[in-house]
Chains A and B, each alone.
Chain A
Amino acid sequence: MKNKIKIHDVNPLRRDRRQFLKLSGMALVGTSLVFMTGCSNDDDAPSPPEEIFDLGTGDLGVLNYAYALEQLEADFYTRVVNHSNFRSTFSQNEQQVLTDLYYHEVIHRDFFNTAIGVAVSGDLTKRLPVLEFDYGNLDFGNREIVLATSKTLEDTGIAAYNGAGKLLTNPDYLLIAGKIVSVEARHASAIRNIIATGSIDGADSKSFAGDDIVDPVTGLGQALSPSEIVAAAGGFITTPFTYKEQGIG
């Protein structure tokens, strides 16, 4: 079985991002997005700025908001798959799922990093900086805790994208958000099923789309506002930021 997991730095963003930007700079042509060069020297810009970063207004604010959530998810799974007990803690199937989630979330994160750089025409002071995270005493070697946290993050991601879609005005961005939110839902379903089949948490065979995330009367999934999401997921994020347009901070 080929199931190799590359060991990355705990926070591989800077290295990956440098490579990503270098490569993708070549590809950013002929789109509805206007690409401006000038990102080549951004990596080494001194961070963080003195004042607290605000996510911004309009579509940019939503993109930065999504970028914050993807940074959190990517960081979480990076820690999960790099934990020294990863292989002994999770079954082979679970390792495959968590590794895929790690790949997907890092790709989402790096995609937003570049896409926002394009959307702000290279003015990277408007792009959310690299965030730092603190998980307190969360035990990344504990199967139940990792899965429960993963479930929370994926459920939160779905509700966040569903709630933020209406804040977008550019249909291209709405489509991209749509492409990502359904993948988050696919993740949530898989993690919830792993928990259910492992008989953790009292979950049952319906929990892949349980009544706790799909209203049993209307059949609608959750949609939450940015202020509700930041209140929930923000506890992990130690880098302060505000989202004044959405009443956060």
Chain B
Amino acid sequence: MNIIKIMDYLSDSELMNTKSSRRDSFGHIKTLGKNVAMASIPFGLAATSTKTRATTLSMASSMMMADPLDILNFALTLEYLERNFYQMGLDTNGLIPAEDRPTFAQISKHETSHVEFLLSALGDDAVSEPTFDFTGGSLNLDTFSNYQTFLALSQGFEDTGVRAYKGQAGGLIDNADLLTYALQIHSVEALHASQVRRMRGEKGWITKSENTLPGAFSAIYGGATPESNTVQGGVDLSGLFNDLGGNNAVTESFDEPLTMDEVNAIASIFIVP
């Protein structure tokens, strides 16, 4: 089989998935909204009906996780934060250089969609939007007057987003629809993170817990399972790939989760109490 045929196939399926007309798009989101609404009502039922085979296995772990409603509201709060951050950045004259505006417009578009998506999923159960302060309160960051600070915070928010969704996936394991939606948002945050990191002259992937952000944000790459972790599935991979990039490559190959508390601690720096 040749590559062209494969590319054709993929672009066809991409076409089917995303290149729909505006009219179709509305139909699509309506369907999506309906699916999410249906999925969001019987949270309790989902665990016993759709995935009975999983119940026993995941019960122990799920008991330690937040329930899906809390997870979605947690995600919504992060998405509110990102949406506001990028909107304010784009609205600030002279902050983002012209050549970088399309990049941040694209990211901003996605974060706005994520907020709307989660709002439609949560309905009346959605938390309201906090008031944000991107100077970080007493940190007094020059976020909207210094592009490098804006870029640094963008990287921090995107990498935190990746780690936050990853940390909560287990809590959605009994609900196939919600889990898939969360994974679909998770991978988009990683596309953003890679881009912004490279705009800052870093690699798109995280090496150990190396941190070039303001000192107050070391928690973004730390936590109970820091990005320097080399143990995967009980296997310590350190020292096993010395001629394949060594431990740097090992840590780059796996992104790590943050717990809800760890994420909330990071986000709370920017939320007015």
Contacts and interface: CB of A to CB of B under 8 A. Distances in A.
Interface of A: 6, 16, 19-20, 23-24, 27-33, 35, 58, 97, 99-100, 102-104, 106-108, 110-111, 114-115, 118, 135-138, 145, 148-149, 152, 155-156, 158, 161-163, 165-166, 168-172, 174-176, 178-190, 193, 204-206, 208-224, 228, 231-236
Interface stretch (B69-77, B132-140, B192-200, B211-219): B192-200
Contacts of B194: 185-190, 208
B254 A183 contact: yes
Contact of B58 (A135, A169, A218, A222): A169
Contacts of B17: 215, 222
Nearest to B197: A186
Interface in B204-222: 204-205
A188 B191 contact: yes
Contacts of B3: 135-136, 138, 145, 148-149, 152
B233 interface: yes
A15 to B, nearest CB: 11
A135 B3 CA distance: 8
B32 A208 contact: no
B131 interface: no
Nearest to B178: A166
Band of interface residues on B: 35 or more
B93 interface: no
A136 B241 contact: no
Interface string B6-34: 11011101100111000001001100100
B256 to A, nearest CB: 7
Contact of A189 (B105, B117, B195, B232): B195
A31 B255 contact: no
Interface string B153-190: 00000000010011001100100110111011111111
Given A178-B169, A183-B252, A212-B18, A162 B237 contact: no
